[in-house]
Chains A and B, each alone.
Chain A
Amino acid sequence: MLRPLDDADFRVIAETLDLSEANLSKTVQNLVTLGYLVTSKQASPQRSDARRTTSVKLTHLGRRVFDEHLAALRAMAEHE
């Protein structure tokens, strides 16, 4: 989902992919550790309290690895 985007709100990713925020948080943390994603927090007018929203973005490495993964899937699908 992030591949065609500059970044996306964490909450929006969870909603769009129909994932719980807890599950998505673990996945995002793992991908951040691998260097595939970066997150940033900022104040948001969407929130009435002082909490901040989190944006998630693919890194250059993450883009490359995802593209390679997609290419491999396409190659495998051709032989299925």
Chain B
Amino acid sequence: MESNFGASDALSAVEADRRKLGDRMTAETHWAAPAQGLAAALLIGAPAAGIPGVFLVLAASLALFIGIEWAFRRRSGLTISRPAGPRGMALLVALAVLLSGLSLLSFALWAFDLVAWIAPVALVGGLLMALGVRTYDRTYSNEVRRAR
């Protein structure tokens, strides 16, 4: 008997599988995005802790970033180390630039004895990071499902 399953059906099947993968990724966003925002806020706000406190806060931020990655792998069963497409890559670069820029700004504020400004900068950075991670996850989910 001849099968009616054609190339378009095969591509649709790939897209359906990829959609499930995207859903599994975004299922972790509700906790991962705020947690990464918190880790970013700690990183940016670290200079406000002075010396030697800055090293403890930086270590806490690093431990939080690593812990989030470990928890994501454990909960989702997936290991992902690269974006699924060009929009995801652009967002990743933008987030890295944002995090580096605000960290440098925060150290500059500390160097110029404007420590009171560090907390608001860290708060804004944390919020932007949380929103950025949420957008990144949605972008990943959209880009990963395109098989055509």
Q: Which of A's residues lie within 8 Å of B, judged by CB? A: 1, 4-9, 11-12, 16-17, 45-46, 55, 70, 72-77, 80
Q: What's the nearest-Cβ distance from chain B to residue A16, in Å?
A: 5
Q: Count residues on chain B whose CB falls below 8 Å from chain A CBs.
A: 23
Q: Which residues of B contact A (CB under 8 A)?
A: 6-8, 10-11, 14, 17-18, 20-21, 24, 74, 76-82, 84, 144, 147-148
Given contacts A1-B17, A17-B17, A70-B147, contact A76 B80 (CB under 8 A): no
A17 to B10, CA, bound (A): 14
CB-based contact A1/B21 at 8 Å = yes
The smallest beta-carbon distance between B27 and chain A, in angstroms, is 11
Known contacts A4-B144, A70-B14, A70-B147; 12 additional CB pairs below 8 A are A4-B84, A5-B79, A6-B81, A7-B78, A7-B79, A8-B78, A12-B24, A12-B77, A16-B21, A17-B17, A55-B79, A77-B11
- The reply to whether B79 and A8 form a contact with Cβ atoms under 8 Å apart is yes
User: Once the chains bind, are B148 and A77 in contact (CB under 8 Å)?
Assistant: yes
List chain B residues, Cβ under 8 A from A75. 7
Q: Is the CB of B148 within 8 A of A74?
A: yes
C-alpha gap A70/B17 in the complex (Å): 14
